[in-house]
Amino acid sequence: QFISFFHQRESRGKDNHWICKPWNLARSLDTHITKSLNNIIRQRESIPKVVSKYIENPVLFHLEDVGLVKFDVRYIVLLKSVNPLKLYVYDVFWLRFSNRPFSLDDLDDYEKHFTVMNYAPEISLKQVSK
């Protein structure tokens, strides 16, 4: 089914960038971005993976001295109850940025595509509170 969908997108000239992620790992371990159907199929042969459409035109943040970079917002939510729905949101959140300007010209350059590279002690996350 996916192969047919991939070929349909290709024949219509639509963007065909995909991200392949292991279903059970974090911090972008063994995660790959590709526009090659053969690569996607090969990725899924190693361990079970989730394949999702990669957003080729993301919202970017202008980071001084770096340029337009990908970013994410991390926050903490505590789910106390589902029925009735009760949850708490911590009033501090963190902004994380990729280390290099975003572009699709090098899909193996993780520092362009992932924000999880910023866990090193010398990197400070941007903390925001209300």
CA distance 109 to 51: 19
Torsions phi, psi for 108 (to 5 deg) = -90, -5
Instruction: Say whether both 65 and 125 belong to one domain.
Output: yes
Residue 123 has pLDDT above 60, yes or no: no
Residue-wise pLDDT for 66-85, tens only, equals 999 999 998 899 999 999 99
Residue-wise pLDDT for 13-56, tens only, equals 999 999 998 877 766 677 889 999 999 988 777 788 899 999 99
Domain boundary among 19, 38, 57: 57
Q: Residue 19 sits in a domain of what CATH number? A: 3.30.1490
What integer pLDDT is reported at residue 43 of this predicted model? Answer: 79
| Domain of residue 109, residue span | 58-129
Q: Any bridge partners for residue 77, and if so which?
A: 89
Instruction: Say whether both 42 and 86 belong to one domain.
Output: no
Instruction: Say whether both 31 and 62 belong to one domain.
Output: no
pTM of the entire structure? 0.75
Residue 122 has pLDDT above 60, yes or no: no
Domain boundary among 32, 57, 82: 57
CA distance 121 to 102: 23
User: Could you give the number of structural domains in the chain?
Assistant: 2
Peptide bond into 84 cis (omega under 30): yes
Domain boundary among 57, 73, 90: 57
